[in-house]
Amino acid sequence: MSYSDQYAYKPVLTGEAAALPDGSVAVGEPYDPEPHGCAKECQGIAGVLCTWINILLVFVPLGIYSHVMQWSAAARFSCNFVAIVPLAAILGASTESLAAHTGQMIGGLLNATFGNAVEMIVTVNAIKAGLVTVVQGSLLGSILSNMLLVLGMSFFAAGIVEKESRFSAKGASANMTCLTLGSIALALPTIYNCMENTPTEDVLSISRISSAVIAAVYVLFLIFQLLTHAHLFASEGEEDEEVVMSACSSVLLLVGATATVAVCSEFLVDSIEGVTEEYGLPGAFIGVILLPIVGNAAEHATAVTVAAKGKMDLALGVAVGSSTQIALLVVPFSVIVGWVFDVPMSLDFRIFDTTVMILSVFITHTALQDGCSNWLEGSILIAIYILIAIICWYIPDSDGAAV
């Protein structure tokens, strides 16, 4: 045995005797491999920042530079589009970390608010730019991508691993009831506006009052989900949320990511009209299909991954739960923002958009009502989303549907 091997430090357990180099005997302390203090904090921050998707952070300075140097509209759109994807992932991780430091109700409110921060920021910037139909399209697209594409991919991934996956049908039903309310809230102003001699001011008034009602129902849904009926939404075998960062670090990351998203989303919105005019990319396709990818890419990957591991309730919480948040929180928020900036943002989402929303809620409710999923149901949901994407590609911008 070499000298270094003989006298190298070897941790021992409590109660075990260890011989020291001078011949004395010491009782060892338990060896704890877990980092503490500053080391644990650094490890938590690294866990949030050092992920594969954060490779795309190189597009953040590139997106800002492209705007400053006035590159082509397509280059500015592409750079800022990609830049927001990792920023959204950091927003989500820091929000979850901060929520773990709070109570269940406060944590739920934090996730509801900052979990949709990207959609809200894009909404504010687009409304300030007067792009009402882009906002309507992106909100509709966010609901559809979660409800059809993400849920469909989750069903398909779980169905490849196991023939059938079970989940809480009652929890899913509560979400779908809320989405039905969201569909009705869009349908009624749209139908009213199709009647003869309906003043625009009346449509706006109806939309603003309806938005207040919808937002109030969302608060009630949070109380239902987090307090009175939390057992309906609890995942089987779900473990407590691990705190990976301190509250201070979580807040700093949250503020930094939010500010950066605000800048990149403003540059993204500024380039949309140029992309549609110069390159002929349909506005409906940008609003309904492309923009929702920005804030949901990392979340989508998470949902599919946990579904493949058999945690279908968690996947439903991401997919259907996110759709509920957007329909009952972000949509009313957009109407209020339009009111603040004196922009005619209403719940009149046009006949095409409203019809797609109602049909999508119907087919999703049908797939969820038995509390069991398989790969065929997933394939059907994905196919419906593809059909909608194809139609959006062919919608002329002048038609005003979701563009």
| Structural domains for the chain | 49-399 (1.20.1420.30)
Exposure string (b/e) for 219-249, b if CB count within 10 Å is 16 or more? eebbebbbeeeeebbebeeeeeeebbbbeeb
124-to-80, 218, 286, 346 alpha-carbon distances in Å: 16, 20, 17, 14
Rg (CA), the chain: 25
The residues with which 25 forms a beta bridge, in sequence order, are 19
Reduced to 3 states, what is the DSSP secondary structure of residue 147? helix
The model's pLDDT over 371-390, given as tens digits with 9 standing for 90+, comes to: 899 999 999 999 999 999 99
Per-residue confidence (pLDDT) for residue 24, from 0 to 100: 54
- Please give the sequence-ordered ranges of beta strands (E in DSSP) within 340-394, or none if there are none: 372-373
Indicate whether 1 pLDDT > 70: no
Query: Residue 401 — very low, low, confident or very high, per pLDDT cuts 50/70/90?
Result: very low
Indicate whether 248 pLDDT > 80: yes
Structure tokens that stand for 13 in this block: 């357990």
Query: Residue 108 — very low, low, confident or very high, per pLDDT cuts 50/70/90?
Result: low
The model's pLDDT over 346-372, given as tens digits with 9 standing for 90+, comes to: 999 989 999 999 999 999 999 998 889
The model's pLDDT over 170-181, given as tens digits with 9 standing for 90+, comes to: 888 999 999 999
Q: Are strands 165-166 and 372-373 parallel, antiparallel or unpaired?
A: antiparallel
Reduced to 3 states, what is the DSSP secondary structure of residue 51? coil
Q: If you count them, how many residues does the chain have?
A: 403
pTM of the model: 0.81
Per-residue confidence (pLDDT) for residue 135, from 0 to 100: 92
Mean pLDDT for the chain? 83
